[in-house]
Structure 1
């Protein structure tokens, strides 16, 4: 969907922006049943099964008869500006016809929300029944409430805080550096040649360690060897076999490299680094304390070591009224907002999505 030119928060400019999106369900006559779901860093617009039988990343939450019942609600999922799932990004043609590559400007979470507001306009949606997201999607959902409170009736923020922390920025910097140091990166202008797959794979390995918990990795893998390999062997370190956990990380890296663009990974990572709901708005309490028009649902994953539950509690305390922090209990870590979101069914149904 073309949404026009976009002047970006950091000073950049995109002359024509297209947003890729998917929908489920039917928009009602007064457009009061529209729900926006925001994807995480490497997520796509394919939240749930639709015309195809391909699994969605939140099938437990969205679909006929699910928490967000698509027989009652009209669900929209948009790919963030700078992404690689249908929206204008670094692989897209610039005005001169060649890929944007290294020339693609820095975008922020707020830039994405402003573009999504234009998509909502084009779809005839003046106010969302609810905006939901986890991780980077949670940052985008929160930004919707702060930027357009009159258009956000309800907001659910899962596994995300009010701003990226120093530790999160540090992990992000290591991932971005891994990609930029790949000899095939070519300063971001690698289109038409080999892609920086090795660097992107390393970035994914770093990230995925934070997406899972130490107890889960220990339980699943421990010090066991990968099948038919011997980690304690080989004349040189490079000749030894892998531990099972190393094979697991290799597998996660290969999966991402096969479906994601390295420049988009950098852009969206930098956008998440920029996440700070208070930027230019005063203190956290000043930024959020006046959002009485929006109902909030905050959820944390008890084993999350990327976005600690305390960050969700601090966010809830800054919101108007008394906002409860709901807890997803799982040993899996940060990814629990994807794998165990069904635990929130009753609370989300009661708060945002009544079926009766």
Structure 2
């Protein structure tokens, strides 16, 4: 069932009353689409997407970091855990009984697209899926981290198709220090020559990335035990945690996908002044990847159409995953009429 302009753009009559369509549906698909990539020209692409929620409900596009994917939350049709179960699903801030939630797998996430990818390319891929599903305008775009960058691109490039934007921990430009961090991670992966070496290097890169996603304050609280000698090798208290993060990441991520999506963050640039839709920009005081001052500057460029929300968290950049109550309160307010 396709959406009319009015259905796709307007907020529900009440944010606390379900849509008239009682059933919560879900679907997956793969769109074969020719897109002109910003740095790599015309390409034939596979865009995998998933949606859940009533087919006649307002559409919310949901996007996370470079390790996120199309499966946002568990549903009856797809019961496996999603990457944002804390916020998406029945009776959550992103309520799948009141909204139709739509997400894609990032271009390049399967490791099969070994060319430079840009956040603008991802925004165009989202627009192509909307065309495919006959959705003229989305009620909102909720993006976190890399997803916030893509959301800003979507608002700049396809603003007439969007009602509002919630951008959490993502700015209009990458911070130079964060770019240096990612460059080091990519260097580690590139150092591996054999397939075994590449995967070991990818695990190390992910462990280094985890340090940038979190904060020294959290590590001081969680891993304050003294360094121990284990089989004659010094081992810090956080080693098991970091190695576990690396192992899980390697199991689901191809090295090429990591390299190209990491590059994509650093290639990101959007003219914030061209964005006309109402925006909520969310900043975490302790975020070392997207420092507070960069999001304050972004809010200044967006002007009166933007509201800046900020809070303190020892989890830093990962607060959108680890502070469910605070994020839920911001999302509920932003989606229920307080976008700007």
Same fold, TM-score > 0.5, yes or no? yes
How many residues of Structure 1 are paired with residues of Structure 2 in the alignment? 307
Q: Conserved in 1, the CA contact under 8 Å of 2:152 and 2:272?
A: no
Match of 1:215 among 201, 217, 220: 217
Does residue 56 (structure 1) correspond to residue 82 (structure 2)? The answer is: yes
* CA positional deviation for 1:143: 0.7
Change (3 A) 1:179 1:324: same
Change (3 A) 1:321 1:165: same
Q: Conserved in 2, the CA contact under 8 Å of 1:205 and 1:250?
A: yes
Equivalents in 2 of 1:322, 1:74: separation in Å? Answer: 25
Q: Which moved more, 1:206-215 or 1:319-328?
A: 319-328
Match of 1:288 among 262, 272, 278: 272
**Normalization by structure 1: what TM-score?**
0.81
Q: Conserved in 1, the CA contact under 8 Å of 2:63 and 2:147?
A: yes
Match of 1:330 among 288, 313, 317: 313
Match of 1:19 among 15, 32, 47: 47
Change (3 A) 1:224 1:53: farther
Alignment of structure 1 residues 239-318 onto 2, 5 Å: 239-277=232-270, 287-292=271-276, 294-318=277-301
Q: More strand per residue: 1 or 2?
A: 2
Match for residue 97 of structure 1? none
Secondary structure of 1:305's counterpart equals coil
Equivalents in 2 of 1:347, 1:82: separation in Å? Answer: 31
* CA positional deviation for 1:55: 2.3
Match for residue 98 of structure 2? 72
Secondary structure of 1:321's counterpart equals helix
* CA positional deviation for 1:36: 0.5
Equivalents in 1 of 2:117, 2:191: separation in Å? Answer: 22
* CA positional deviation for 1:276: 1.1
Match of 2:120 among 100, 110, 115: 110
Equivalents in 1 of 2:291, 2:37: separation in Å? Answer: 30
Alignment of structure 1 residues 23-172 onto 2, 5 Å: 23-28=51-56, 33-50=58-75, 51-84=77-110, 89-90=111-112, 104-172=114-182
Instruction: Provide the alpha-carbon RMSD of the alignment.
Output: 1.9
**Normalization by structure 2: what TM-score?**
0.85
Match for residue 93 of structure 1? none
Match of 1:10 among 25, 39, 43: 39
Equivalents in 2 of 1:180, 1:134: separation in Å? Answer: 27
* Cα offsets for 1:54-89 (capped at 9, x unmatched): 2222222111111121111000110111012xxxx4
| Ranges in structure 1 where 5+ consecutive residues have no aligned partner | 91-99, 186-193, 278-286
